[in-house]
Amino acid sequence: MSIRNFAVKLICAATPVRHNRVVFQSYYGRGYSDSPKAICEVLRQSGENLDLVWLCKDEAAAKTLPEGVRAVPATGLKKLRAMASAKVWVDNCRKYESIKKKGQIYMQTWHGFPLKKIEADVADKLEPAYVEACKRDSAQCDVMVSGSGFMTKLYREVFWYQGAVANIGTPRNDVFFTDHTILHTKVCKAFGLPEDRKLALYAPTFRADHSVDAYRLDADMVRRKCEENFKGEWTVLIRLHPNVAAKSAGLFAYDGDRLVDATAYPDMQELLCAAGLLITDYSSSMFDYGLTGKPVVQFAVDIAAYQKDRDFYFPLDQLPFPLARSNAELETILTDLQPLWTSSDWASFTREHEFCEDGQASVRCAAIILQNIFKERKGSEKTPAL
């Protein structure tokens, strides 16, 4: 053991656990977002005396936190002390620290229903150091949160994980079961748009080489076809993956009204709620957005190259979303697309893969956390024994 690792373990061992402290992290220090946010919101409004801590990579992330949630740096000694003193950890990505102590609880929500293969299914394509870190992380985890039978199966088979799985829904998707008009207004105000403006969201995922060459969307055509087919005035929002966010600025001819860079917007689920159409390629956002009943289109111009890198769990042309391999194909699809999506293929897909989303996942996760903070309280029937 190195001197540094020994010092870390010594500090953590000497730091007492505070039984009302819950430490959250989303995407390695990004702002208030994703499933950890949804769970934190329930706890924040629970009326319990909780110390809610959010690990933030910078001041911009810290500024997204609401009242009642305090920021701690996502690196360094303050992070270690926060984690060492917490009764519960909540995260949506792997943790590289192996410092969990007896009595602490680690809840892992993960970050989406996958299209591309992940973890042990692509271990030969991953860095060996990452694989070892994943194994250590899974060994620490007490419960993994799942929104489908398919995801539960993956946890069991490819996550190097033997612990409890809470098959209770995806907390970040609870928002799709609420009134979307409030979030539509919020998003329009954030970008200085009229409140009645309709929104199309283009949200491609990143490539292994961080290239943006495949992001060839004809945004002007998309806006025009939406206005012809769905009526009203439309704005196209561009949302790049955080891994390539720095490249968004010069990628499109943003005009502040018809085409807007939404990459820096802190909460992807809010953008999805606000949008009347999603265009994506290989992102798990399509499976989240399918829950809204609004139309999804796959726009993928580099399928062979992407598949060679990671491969897919499902063939793209067999997914319940129309597939466009070019702007010409996309234009044809948008011409006939219906504004309210009632695809029987989507219903069949969710049944086959045992989706269990009902808008209550974050409440159930909060119940698990509170049960472990206040042991004398009984959890719900769906609360797993930890």
**Does 162 lie in the same domain as 191?**
no
Compute the distance between CA of residue 162 and CA of residue 157 in angstroms, rounded to an integer: 9
The H or E element containing residue 107 is strand 105-108
Who contacts 35 (Cβ-Cβ below 8 Å, separation ≥6)? 26, 92, 109, 110, 111, 145, 170, 171, 172, 361, 362, 365
Domain membership of residue 121 (yes or no) is: yes
Tell me what pLDDT residue 379 has: 46
Number of domains in the chain: 2
Question: How does the average pLDDT of the chain come out, rounded?
Answer: 92
Do 116 and 239 lie in one domain? The reply is no
Structure tokens at 119: 């973890």
Q: Where are the alpha helices (DSSP H) in the chain?
A: 3-14, 34-44, 59-62, 76-85, 128-140, 149-158, 180-190, 219-230, 268-274, 285-289, 303-309, 327-336, 344-352, 361-373
Picking from 194, 180, 136, the residue whose alpha carbon sits closest to that of residue 161 is 136
Q: What pLDDT, on a 0 to 100 scale, did the predictor assign at position 166?
A: 97
Joined tokens for residue 229: 């087919």
Assess whether 333 and 368 both reside in one domain.
no
Residues 185 and 96 in one domain: no
Residues 6+ apart with CB under 8 A from 360: 168, 169, 174
Q: How many helices (H) and strands (E) does the chain have?
A: 14, 13
Residue-wise pLDDT for 158-171, tens only, equals 999 999 999 999 99
Q: How far apart are CA 222 and CA 331, in angstroms?
A: 7
The confidence score (pLDDT) of residue 338 equals: 75
Q: What is the mean pLDDT of residues 109-121?
A: 96
- Interstrand relation of 69-73 and 143-146 (parallel, antiparallel or unpaired): unpaired
Those residues with Cβ within 8 angstroms of residue 304's Cβ, 6 or more apart along the chain or in another chain: none
Same domain, 146 and 204: no
Closest among 82, 284, 44 to 95, alpha carbons compared: 82
Domain membership of residue 184 (yes or no) is: yes
Q: How far is CA 52 from CA 43, 69, 108, 232, 281, in A?
A: 8, 5, 17, 43, 36
Reported as a single tens digit per residue, the pLDDT across 215-240 is 999 999 999 999 999 989 999 999 99
Across 151-158, average pLDDT = 97
pLDDT for 113 equals 96
Q: What is the DSSP letter of 299?
A: E
Both 97 and 206 in one domain: the answer is no
Can you tell me the distance from the alpha carbon of 35 to that of 270, in angstroms, rounded to the nearest whole number? 12
262, 299: one domain: yes
pTM of structure = 0.92
**Does position 341 have pLDDT exceeding 70, yes or no?**
no
Mean pLDDT in residue range 120-145: 95
- Supply the pLDDT for residue 382: 46
CA separation (Å) from 173 to 112, 161, 200, 359, 360? 10, 24, 19, 7, 9
What CATH number is given to the structural domain containing 99?
3.40.50.11820
Better pLDDT: 290 or 256:
290
d(CA 63, CA 57): 11
How would residue 2 be classed by pLDDT, with cut points 50, 70 and 90?
low
For the chain, give the percent of residues with pLDDT over 90.
Answer: 85
Residue 241: pLDDT band with limits 50, 70, 90:
very high
186 shares a domain with 211? yes
Q: Say which DSSP state 384 is in.
A: P
Q: Which of 39-48, 214-223, 329-338 has the lowest mean pLDDT?
A: 329-338
Residue 45 domain boundaries: 14-170+358-373
153 and 111 in a single domain? The answer is yes
203 and 227 both lie in a single domain: yes
Tell me how crowded residue 53 is: count the other CB atoms within 10 A of its CB. Answer: 25
Grade residue 386 by pLDDT with cuts at 50, 70 and 90: low
Q: What is the pLDDT of residues 177-209, one digit of tens each?
A: 999 999 999 999 999 999 999 999 999 999 989
- pLDDT tens track for 265-318: 989 999 999 999 999 999 999 999 999 999 999 999 999 999 988 899 999 999
